[in-house]
Amino acid sequence: MKNMTEVSERITRFHLGKEFAAQEILGCHKENDEYVFRVWAPHAQKIWLTGDFNDWSKSLEMTRNSEGIWSITTDLPQEDQLYKYLVKQADGTEIMKIDPFAIQLEARPGNAAVIRDFPQKKWHDGGWIGRNKRSNHFARPINIYEVHLSSWKRHEDGALYSLKELQKELIPYVKQQGFNYIEFLPLTAHPLDASWGYQTIGYYALERTYGTPEELQDFVEACHNENIGVITDWVPGHFCKNDDALAYYDGTPTFEYSESWRAENKGWGVLNFDLGKPEVQSFLLSSALFWLELYHIDGLRVDAVSNILYRDYDRAPGEWTPDKFGGNRNLEGIEFLQKLNRTIKGCHPESLMIAEESSAQVKITGRIEDGGLGFDFKWNMGWMNDILRFYEMDPLFRKFNFNLATFPFMYRMSENFVLPLSHDEVVHGKKSLMDKMFGSREDQFDQLRNLYTLQMTYPGKKLLFMGSEFGQYIEWRYAEGLDWDELSDELNQKMQLFDKKLNELYLNQPSLWQLEQKEDSVVIIDADNKDESVLSFIRQGKIRHDFLIVILNFTPVERKDFHIGVPYKGTYEEIFNTARSEYGGTWTKPKQKFETKDSPFKDLNYQIHVDLPGFSAMIIKPVDIHIKRRRK
């Protein structure tokens, strides 16, 4: 039982924006044989606790303290019963509200909170936790499989897979395919599947259609014991505007900005948090830590960061006012994100903090001390947009737009990047990744393999949305499972095998991830061959002789006896060729081996001659090379 001094001190910290486990004080808690309920609603006239235990009546009126916290202690409730708060708002309106700190809500269509304790699990994932704490995630492979939990797979009658069923099927599948992280679209409670979880109502509650808190704990533990990390999307930028949720909780701007133009998020039809308000900071920081700690989640991908950073985001001229310096920065938002990362890293330095952000005005992954936001990684939206535009176009025109494939090399050191081929790119009429590719069905498969090889060999961590690994042709549909029937087609089977082999190559080749934060991790061989539309570069590992040569042919034309520069004299061999028949291509020739020619090629002293299939990506590795010892 918490003593009143501790409660009072922590409530004070909540009001100062310094309480990072607010769910332990606010919400519903059992103390001895009674339950204590506390909720923050500073401008409410009255609040009643109402639920199954009092026939949803006004018999349990709560008491307000001087700081706007309402509370009641009662022995009437029992575990698993439902409750809400009946709030008499500032204008006298009475409305049922959810408990913002509930850790479980009832099944839809209702959203009452469930009375229950925090699950007490005896964890058995110490091996993973220890390795994770000792490792440097910047210098290790991170290959993420992005999943919408309710549409990865469904039963024949349309029923969702439970977390228990997904534990048996999704985890082995992810391991088999060679991914080492799963990233879930938001797991937080939301009222409508069509929002994919991004319109949150419960920042501490697991979406009930997905399962129970205990089932999620077991799922994460099972992932860790297979050396698979778990990341979840988390949305501090906005929240669902449903009347019975957080919106204008006490009848006045409570969680949202007081200025209506800042509170309203027009693009999403939601409300924006007032990130400068201390109580909101305590609420959100506690939520972030809650998911990391209660569920052993390994990281958070913070969604819609641009909406937090800029006052004019998604607004026309005249719909916003400048900050105190006359600019468009959301100064409170920037300070909040810095505080978020400082807090998370102070408690869990091994946690991954990833930002989804599309501008270049603010340093996202820079050190907070240098004015950055402190994230570990940022989604590389520029790379994604340029590359997909490039692959969508007729190969005849790629030579005129070759910079789309090469320009991202120019800014690759500006941030620590994740290369996302995410859910956002395969929905709302954008077509699946497979259907984006130009040409015939066979050409599409050829180019999709080429695209994935570019992603896997280009500097940055990797993310691929579910279904893309086997080349699903139709767009993602949130209300249905993936089109697994496509795997009855031989080309889809071979695409799935290709993805598995490519992922394995990535995980097993240190040159693809050891030095991503260093300039010399990439050496461009030739980025000027626009006419033939062939791009070539080297990925360098820590050891001088550990490197890979990557050649990408963006046209269907086979390039015989193609000259390519190499750094050292000796022998080389092909280790990966996307055009091979086992992957769905037509190339059946033996793997090529190469002897260097003593002839310079651009900045390199030697060259090899390669037969390069059309639409292929080829990876070559040194076998026996002669490296001159550097002078000290």
CA-wise closest residue to 462 among 186, 179, 223: 179
Q: Which residue has the tokens 């269509």?
A: 109
CA-wise closest residue to 103 among 166, 26, 193, 182: 26
Q: Please report, for residues 46, 47, 130, 200, 262, the alpha-carbon distance to residue 249 in angstroms, rounded to integers and kept in the order given.
A: 12, 11, 42, 15, 17
Alpha-carbon gap, residue 595 to 466, rounded angstroms? 41
Q: Which residues contact 58 (CB under 8 A, 6 or more apart)?
A: 48, 50, 86
Query: Around 562, how many Cα atoms within 13 Å sit in the side-chain half-sphere?
Result: 22
> Considering 19, 146, 207, 356, which one is annotated as catalytic?
356
What's the token pair of residue 270? 């939601």
Q: How far apart are the two ends of the chain, measured CA to CA in Å?
A: 67
E-only strand ranges, 77-127: 82-88, 94-97, 113-114
Q: Which residue has the tokens 């937090």?
A: 308
Alpha-carbon gap, residue 81 to 209, rounded angstroms? 18
Alpha-carbon gap, residue 523 to 502, rounded angstroms? 21
Q: Which residues contact 132 (CB under 8 A, 6 or more apart)?
A: 229, 298, 350
Amino acid identity of residue 208, one-letter, is R
Amino acid identity of residue 363, one-letter, is K
67, 75 Cβ separation under 8 angstroms: no
Kindly compute the dihedral angle of the four CA atoms of residues 236, 238, 242, 244, in this order, to the nearest 10 degrees: 30
Q: Name the phi and psi angles at 59, rounded to 5.
A: -75, -15
> Considering 264, 303, 446, 469, which one is annotated as catalytic?
303
Peptide linkage before 109 cis (omega within 30 of 0): yes
Alpha-carbon gap, residue 542 to 520, rounded angstroms? 10
Alpha-carbon gap, residue 244 to 562, rounded angstroms? 66
28, 83 Cβ separation under 8 angstroms: yes
428, 376 Cβ separation under 8 angstroms: no
Q: Is 376 a catalytic residue?
A: no
What's the token pair of residue 446? 């050829």
Q: Is 504 a catalytic residue?
A: no
Q: Mind telling me the catalytic residues?
A: 303, 356
